[in-house]
Structure 1
Amino acid sequence: MEDFKELTKAEEQIMKELWDMGRGFVKEIVDRLPEPKPAYNTVSTIVRILETKGFVTHESFGKSHQYLPKISKEEYKKGITGKLLTNYFDNSPKRMLSYFLEENRLDVQELDEILSIIERNK
């Protein structure tokens, strides 16, 4: 997990849009962001940082670049969950689930759904 690169909030917001779009130009990303929209140059800078970090790649169309995710949402989710599990729950899914139960972040219906998933995967 040491080599897992975590996204900043701004980077994560851009990645969420790219994951949803599949690919896009900076202007298209900006158009999808909620108000108040960041400046075009801000989004462009974040996308280039994401490319440097290895999350995004691009295809050139003249002077324009269309960006696409290099890492899937599932890959990132797996990495971020693994980091959470390792750093905060001593690599114990049981401790993590207990935490969510104790903090009332799971209701009875969600717990029943989890139990059904466990039963299906036995």
Structure 2
Amino acid sequence: MKELTKAEEQVMKALWEIERGVVHDIIAKLPDPKPAYNTVSTIVRILETKKFADHKAYGKTHEYFPLIAKKDYSKFYLSNFMDSYFGGSFKNLVSFFAKENDLNINELNQLIEIAKKDTKTSNDE
């Protein structure tokens, strides 16, 4: 999997939200100012080349849909981010954000409880 550019990521977020749609549907989900139709069409074709999206043709109309789940890309992106900035260590990541956001002990304990709950839920599946 490759990392997406900001423009590609923005189009993918719209596509993940609508699940299936034509270029006009994607544009409708993008923030203002809306990019040109040709710009979005080009980005979607790039996403197809990168195997993030595909289409089904209905004559001259193309309906696009994601091939990569948002959750899978998020996991990939966060893993690369952690590797690049925190040596792949979740502990270093949490420590950085705790210091930068001046978290108190109660907030850190809440994070620990959330992590425990999420771990238990994942193990039960």
- Pick the TM interval, shorter chain: 0.7 to 0.9
Paired residues in the alignment total 119
Aligned residue for 1:26? 23
The higher relative CO (CA closer than 8 Å, separation ≥ 6) is in 1
The reply to whether residue 71 of structure 1 matches residue 68 of structure 2 is yes
TM superposition shift of 1:112:
3.9
More displaced, 26-35 or 41-50?
Answer: 26-35
| Displacement over 3 Å in runs of 4+ | 105-113
Task: Report the Cα distance in structure 1 between the residues aligned to 2:21 and 2:107, rounded to whole angstroms.
Answer: 35
CA-atom RMSD, angstroms?
1.9
Secondary structure of 1:68's counterpart equals: strand
The reply to whether residue 48 of structure 1 matches residue 45 of structure 2 is yes
Change over 3 Å in CA distance of 1:113–1:59 after alignment to 2:
farther
Secondary structure of 2:64's counterpart equals: strand
TM-score, normalised with respect to structure 1:
0.88
Unpaired runs of at least 5, structure 2: 121-125
Q: 1:11-49 CA distances to partner (integer Å, 9 max, x unpaired)?
A: 111000100101110011112222211100000000000
Change over 3 Å in CA distance of 1:8–1:101 after alignment to 2:
same
Change over 3 Å in CA distance of 1:53–1:106 after alignment to 2:
farther
Identical-pair percentage:
51
Structure whose residues are more often helix by fraction: 2
TM-score, normalised with respect to structure 2:
0.86
The reply to whether residue 61 of structure 1 matches residue 46 of structure 2 is no
